[in-house]
């Protein structure tokens, strides 16, 4: 089946988190994103581009994604007949970088084709599970007691795996305090590139705390120092920001820079590349798990579908909807099962209903592009 992409909408949204989320690169309270809708025939597909207000995790922002989507990516698909979302990477191959923008558009195309074929995204990607194990990612707290309180509350909600964000000055003492309070809790840390190899002593001191993994301790473009750090530790390093392509994943694995990879479709330019990375990790026995970007219900549905693939053997950063926003953009909301899993949507496409009025309410600006009116917006 081929579909001619006739029109697309972009909404630049700002949606307030229930509580601010602090990482080593900053504090986020109002989450910006670009919501994308593509249309073909009588069908629509929705996507979420997770580029935010500030270029901390990625160089992309909602504003750069607006520019790249509107001026380059959408003109490459509008008016074009395509037979599946997996064709997008080749259509936009010549546009360098901007994986978050590309992934948001690919998500909308997956949703569109899922509806056209009556198949869920999980089914289209090769998912094998109808519920996936999840954990919670806890932002940097003002002090150790606040962190213990926050973790205690999340355990009360039923989460059975906890990740805490760390940064220089808020690291070893926090992890030690947590480990003392919760001796057998599956626990991992995420530094978001905040350290250098000279800080290795901090990670060596964490090595006996039985962490599941240490995520992205060093700079995103530094595979070699991750190799050196990994050689000092028995705890597995996990790469997030470093891995933008399958090639990066292969090189990091072969060099022994990490023992685990965090897969985010957004960071690698879409689900096609995410599945490719999953497949090559699985073939080499490298465990993967699904990362998160504080998505609305649109991106969360897509993450659940990705996490249903067989190589996703560690719990994902995919918490229940109510952990993030007072009001979401898509329904039904995702809830945590008593075994710290979330159900994978089984309805066609993303398997959710987007509420266009909610999208409008959180919208800072909207643009509509049509096949007949290609070009800059
Ligand atoms: O590094 O995993 C990360 C959120 C924003 C940017 C980067 C990261 C995160 C998270 C949030 O850890 C995970 C979630 O969506 O719950
Ligand atoms: Mg991370």
Is 173 inside any structural domain? yes
Query: Between helices 271-283 and 246-254, what is the axis angle to 10°?
Result: 20
> Which CATH number is 83's domain given?
3.30.390.10
List, for residues 272-284, the tens digit of each pLDDT value. Answer: 999 999 999 999 9
Same domain, 25 and 85: yes
Q: Are strands 26-40 and 43-49 parallel, antiparallel or unpaired?
A: antiparallel
Distance from Cα 291 to the centre of ligand 1, integer Å: 7
Task: Give the CA-trace dihedral at 66, 49, 120, 352, to 10 degrees.
Answer: -90
Query: Between helices 172-181 and 144-157, what is the axis angle to 10°?
Result: 40
CB count in 10 Å sphere of residue 269: 23
List, for residues 156-177, the tens digit of each pLDDT value. Answer: 999 999 999 999 999 999 999 9
Same domain, 106 and 196: no
Q: Which helix (H) or strand (E) holds 29?
A: strand 26-40
CA distance 76 to 79: 8
* Per-residue pLDDT at 375 exceeds 60: no
> Which CATH number is 301's domain given?
3.20.20.120
* Per-residue pLDDT at 315 exceeds 60: yes
* Mutation test residue for ligand 1: of 17, 18, 23, the one with most atoms within 8 Å of CB: 23
Is 170 inside any structural domain? yes
Q: Would residue 264 show up in a list of annotated catalytic residues for this protein?
A: yes
Residue-averaged pLDDT of the chain: 97
Task: Give the distance from CA 128 to its chain's centroid.
Answer: 20
Read off the pLDDT band of 376 (50, 70, 90).
very low
Is 350 inside any structural domain? no
Same domain, 107 and 129: no
Same domain, 254 and 297: yes
Burial class (CB in 10 A: 0-12, 13-18, 19+), 18: exposed
In the three-class reduction of DSSP (H, G, I as helix; E, B as strand; rest coil), residue 213 is classed as: coil
- Return the pLDDT at 377: 45
Same domain, 85 and 144: no
Q: Which helix (H) or strand (E) holds 57?
A: none
In the three-class reduction of DSSP (H, G, I as helix; E, B as strand; rest coil), residue 130 is classed as: coil
Is 45 inside any structural domain? yes
- Return the pLDDT at 114: 98
Distance from Cα 165 to the centre of ligand 2, integer Å: 8
* Per-residue pLDDT at 60 exceeds 50: yes
Average pLDDT over residues 168-197: 98
CA distance 19 to 262: 24
Is 351 inside any structural domain? no
CA distance 105 to 35: 9
Is 377 inside any structural domain? no
- Return the pLDDT at 372: 77
Same domain, 87 and 49: yes
Is 360 inside any structural domain? yes
Average pLDDT over residues 131-151: 97
Catalytic residue among 102, 119, 163, 165: 165
Note down the domain range covering 153.
123-343
Q: What is the pTM of this model?
A: 0.97
Nearest CA to ligand 1 atom 5: 293
Give residue 375's region: left, alpha or beta (phi > 0; psi -120 to 50): left
Same domain, 268 and 286: yes
Same domain, 130 and 207: yes
Q: Would residue 256 show up in a list of annotated catalytic residues for this protein?
A: no
Does the CB atom of residue 273 touch ligand 1 within 6 A?
no
List, for residues 71-130, the tens digit of each pLDDT value. Answer: 999 999 999 999 999 999 999 999 999 999 999 999 999 999 999 999 999 999 999 999
- Return the pLDDT at 286: 98
Is 38 inside any structural domain? yes
* Per-residue pLDDT at 224 exceeds 90: yes
Average pLDDT over residues 357-363: 98
User: How many independent structural domains does the chain possess?
Assistant: 2
Distance from Cα 319 to the centre of ligand 2, integer Å: 15
Same domain, 303 and 318: yes
Average pLDDT over residues 139-160: 97
Same domain, 132 and 280: yes
Same domain, 148 and 32: no
Same domain, 139 and 282: yes
* Mutation test residue for ligand 1: of 293, 300, 325, 336, the one with most atoms within 8 Å of CB: 293
Read off the pLDDT band of 306 (50, 70, 90).
very high
């Amino acid at each position: 089946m081929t579909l001619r992409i006739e029109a697309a909408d972009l909404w630049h949204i700002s949606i307030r988190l229930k509580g601010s989320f602090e990482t080593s690169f900053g504090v986020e309270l109002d989450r910006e994103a670009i919501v994308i809708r593509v249309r073909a025939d009588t069908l629509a597909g929705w996507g979420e581009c997770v580029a935010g207000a500030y270029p901390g995790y990625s160089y992309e922002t909602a504003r750069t994604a607006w520019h790249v989507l509107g001026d380059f990516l959408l003109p490459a698909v509008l008016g074009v007949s395509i037979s599946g979302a997996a064709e997008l990477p080749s259509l936009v191959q010549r546009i360098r970088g901007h994986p978050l923008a590309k992934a948001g558009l690919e998500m909308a195309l997956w949703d569109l084709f899922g509806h056209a074929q009556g198949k869920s995204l999980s089914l289209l990607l090769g998912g094998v599970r109808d519920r996936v194990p999840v954990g919670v990612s806890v932002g940097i707290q003002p002090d150790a007691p606040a962190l213990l309180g926050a973790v205690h509350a999340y355990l009360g909600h039923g989460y059975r795996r906890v990740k805490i964000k760390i940064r220089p000055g808020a690291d070893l003492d926090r992890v030690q305090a947590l480990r003392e309070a919760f001796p057998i809790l599956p626990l991992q840390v995420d530094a978001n590139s905040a350290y250098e190899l000279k800080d290795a002593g901090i990670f060596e001191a964490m090595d006996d705390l039985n962490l599941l993994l240490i995520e992205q301790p060093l700079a995103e473009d530094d595979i070699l120092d991750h190799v050196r750090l990994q050689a000092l530790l028995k705890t597995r390093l996990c790469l997030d920001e470093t891995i933008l392509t399958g090639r990066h994943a292969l090189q990091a694995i072969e060099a022994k820079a990490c023992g685990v990879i965090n897969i985010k479709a957004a960071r690698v330019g879409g689900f096609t590349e995410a599945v490719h990375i999953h497949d090559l990790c699985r073939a080499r026995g490298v465990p993967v798990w699904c990362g998160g970007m504080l998505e609305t219900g649109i991106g969360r549905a897509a993450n659940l579908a990705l996490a249903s693939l067989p190589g996703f053997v560690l719990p994902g950063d995919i918490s229940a909807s109510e952990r993030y926003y007072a009001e979401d953009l898509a329904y039904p909301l995702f809830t945590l099962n008593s075994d710290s899993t979330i159900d994978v949507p089984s309805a066609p496409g993303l398997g959710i209903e987007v509420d266009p009025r909610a999208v409008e309410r959180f919208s800072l600006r909207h643009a509509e592009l049509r096949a007949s009116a290609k070009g800059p917006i």
